[in-house]
Amino acid sequence: MGNRSDSKGVALITGAGQGIGRAIALRLAADGFDIGLNDISTNKSNIDDVAQEIASAHPGRRVCVFLADVTVEDDVRGMVDGVVAQLGGLDVVS
């Protein structure tokens, strides 16, 4: 796993299991960001696939998955706290 010093920062991408969110996550990982991936629990297999794709394509990037509903305030708090705890900060949210 990489560390914060070789990263451009930490990005949290909501809706990262598919579509635009997935594309943003892949691009930011390619650009050198460590990535927190978020989606709802029904998209768990999709988001796990995105995490694996990032890990395979960018071995130095740190990536973690947070299942949360962004319409639920407590889920959002837990997700943000989790990103900060696991990746050491938060620089970009999409």
Per-residue pLDDT tens listing for the chain (94 residues): 344 458 899 999 999 999 999 999 999 999 999 999 999 999 999 999 999 999 999 988 999 999 999 999 999 999 999 999 999 999 889 8
Domain range annotation of the chain: 4-93
3-class DSSP assignment, residue 16: coil
pLDDT the model gives residue 5: 55
The H-or-E segment that residue 53 falls in is helix 44-57
- Would you identify the CATH topology of the domain 4-93? Rossmann fold (3.40.50)
The distance of Cα 18 from the centroid of its chain, to the nearest Å, equals: 13
